[in-house]
Amino acid sequence: MKILDLLQALFWRDIQLALRRQSDVVAVVFFFIVTVSLFPLAIGSSPTLMRAIGPGVLWVGALLSTMLSLTRVFASDFADGTLEQILLSPLPLSLVVGVKILAHWIVSGLPLIILAPLLALQFDIQAKEISILTISLLLGTPLLSLIGGIGAALTLGIRGSGVLVAVLVLPLYIPVLIFGAGAVTASMNGMDPKGALSLLGALLVLAVAFAPIAIATSLRMALD
């Protein structure tokens, strides 16, 4: 079987396993909806205030929701010995990591992108800014998964890894949060959002190139 076929089989396996754990997927979506929706209830219904805080609230909600599922990216494969078998296989580990991160993003990141435009309406965000928000999430959420994958690999097998992952990845998430929310805010203020979106795209390209290598190295260290 060709390497491409093996990677495709691994991808669909991860998707199916994630869908079997529907509670995990629902928890991510539910947390995002609740976190974002509580702010209008707590702060008030002033349209000006809602528009001002909306991009930041939506991005913080997406960031925190993505973190909920980070520890499970490699944990089940580590527990049942699948990771050891993958290391012994002819598959390049960095490609395997890339496939697993892609599956994680589809299950935990893509639903947030679909829901974000609907949730943005309660902040009185206009159609143009909603489109900018969607683009920024399309660029930013894969970046969150790639950065989070490094933290998940570094803490693999450690008790209480969820807290450690948060400590490791939150500082690295700050530029993504700034550029993602900043693109929408810039558009609201009549400025060009392309600069922030370009920086997000550049960060994503760098992460796609180097994060799988860093994750693969961390996984080898965890299994030694």
pTM (two decimals): 0.90
As a whole-number percent, the residues of the chain with pLDDT over 70 amount to 98
pLDDT over 90 (residue 84):
no
Query: Given pLDDT bands bounded at 50, 70 and 90, which one contains residue 36?
Result: very high
Structural domain tally of the chain?
Answer: 1
pLDDT over 80 (residue 79):
no
What does R_g of the chain's alpha carbons equal in angstroms? 18
pLDDT over 80 (residue 206):
yes
Q: Give the separation between CA 99 and CA 149, rounded to whole angstroms.
A: 12
pLDDT over 80 (residue 26):
yes
Q: What's the mean per-residue pLDDT of the chain?
A: 88
Q: Distances from the Cα of 148 to the Cαs of 18, 119, 131, 209, in angstroms?
A: 17, 24, 25, 15
Which residues form the domain of 20?
A: 3-223
The whole-number pLDDT of residue 185 equals 93
A 10 A CB-CB count for 83 gives 22
Q: Distances from the Cα of 203 to the Cαs of 14, 147, 200, 206, 210, in angstroms?
A: 26, 10, 5, 5, 11
Residue 31 tokens read as: 């947390």
A 10 A CB-CB count for 140 gives 29
Contact between 11 and 102 (Cβ < 8 Å): yes
Average pLDDT over residues 178-182: 94
The whole-number pLDDT of residue 221 equals 83
Q: Give the separation between CA 25 and CA 68, rounded to whole angstroms.
A: 10
pLDDT in tens, 110-150: 999 999 999 999 898 999 999 999 999 999 999 999 999 99
pLDDT over 60 (residue 1):
no
The whole-number pLDDT of residue 2 equals 77
